[in-house]
Structure formats: C-alpha cells, structure tokens
Amino acid sequence: MKVTLISTVKDCAGSADAFLASLGAQTRAPDEVVIVDGGSRDGTAEAYGRGDGISMLVEPGANISRGRNIAIAAATHDVIAATDADCELDPGWLESIVAPIEAGADVAMGWYEPMLETAFERCMAAVNLPLAADEVDPSTLRLGSTVNGETRQDSATADMIFDVPYLVWHISQFMALEPGDVVNTGTPEGVAFSGRFPYLTDGDVMTMRIEGLGEQRQVARRRP
C-alpha cells in the first residue's frame, strides 16, 4: 500500500525545519509528499520545498480546504494522509494511521497534543485539547447541566443513538473535519421545551459539564 502525505501551509517558514525533521524520522515513510502553499510572503514555500521528495505547489489565496483538494488531485496514490505542516509528527504517526487502513478500515484519525510556549497557548490548549487521546473514552462520558443548582440534565454519551466514532466517520464522507471543529449532536432530555422545567429568566445561573473535560458557568441576562 502506497501513501501520499498532504498538507497546506501559509506564512509558517519558522516551523519548516521541525516539521521536516519529524517527517524524516517517521518509522513508516510516506511514498509521496504534496504540500500546497496558499501564497506565503515569508519564504514558506522555499523552506518546505527544500525537503527531500516534496512536491511543493503554490496556489495564492487557497485556504486549507481548497489547498487539500489541490493536493489530493495532485496525489498519485489512493491512500491519503493529511496533517498540518506547522506540527511536529510523532515518529510512529504515519505507521499508526496507516495500520487500520491496511486492515480494511476506510478512515483513520490521529490526535494532536499542544506544544506550549505562551500563556495564550496554554489557555487555548485547555479549551481545545484538554486531554490526551488515551485519557478519555468519548463513548462513556457523563454530561449534564444545572440551573441555580437544580439538576436539569444528567446523561452520558453511551445513551447516544449514534456513537462518536460513527458520527466522525459519517461526517467525514462529505466534508473535511479540522482539529477543533464542533459537531452538534443535540442535547439530553431535560430542556424547558419538554414542559418539565420553566424557561430561563434574568439572573438564572447555568452550569454545563462533561466528565473529564470541564465545566462552564453562565448567567442568563434579559436583553434590554
């Protein structure tokens, strides 16, 4: 099985050396690498183009989705592995991603872990990447909400008709999911529309939680 690795870049020349080094350290090397530059002005295309065996395409104005489509169209192999070129790949990343495909899967996905340098990056990581993949099971997470301390919702992802892996697989059939994308799946029973509880009023304090991921607190305010 031959694999084309694709990526998109724009104005991230400073990340090129680390990415290329991690690409060269893969335990399973890609058979082809296609990177699309969206019109960088800092020498990004030149920096990434220095990598061995990389096909660099320049398409000014291309966003991530368009860039990936261009890279896929240029690929010469049927199996596509997509990553962000401002990341550092784990040495076993591609080998782990390809293994399920070789076993008969249609889609496989990996995980990002933040590399923190600034306070802003730490805050963003806490919201978007709070746990490592092996620290959370999306099929058994408890979730719920309260209003003024009264429980309104108390359920678990195990109660979903379609589980999380199926939802990701299904949506991936017709659109590209990006790290940080939110999939809205509805909400557990306990909303005011059911008639069991009153609607929110000015000053009500709501808390929403997902086991292992955290809790949000919001105060309802009447619009002037």
**Successive 10-residue mean pLDDT values, the chain, 224 residues:** 93 90 93 93 91 90 90 93 89 92 87 70 61 73 91 90 89 84 83 84 89 80 82
pLDDT score recorded for residue 214: 72
Q: Which CATH number is 3-110's, of 3.40.1160.10, 3.40.190.10, 3.90.550.10, 3.20.20.140?
A: 3.90.550.10
How buried is 124 (Cβ within 10 angstroms: 0-12 exposed, 13-18 middle, 19+ buried)? Answer: middle
What DSSP character marks residue 135? Answer: G
Residues in the chain: 224
Class of domain 136-219: alpha beta
Q: Are 95 and 76 in contact (CB under 8 A)?
A: no
pLDDT score recorded for residue 71: 94
Extents of the domains making up the chain: 3-110, 136-219
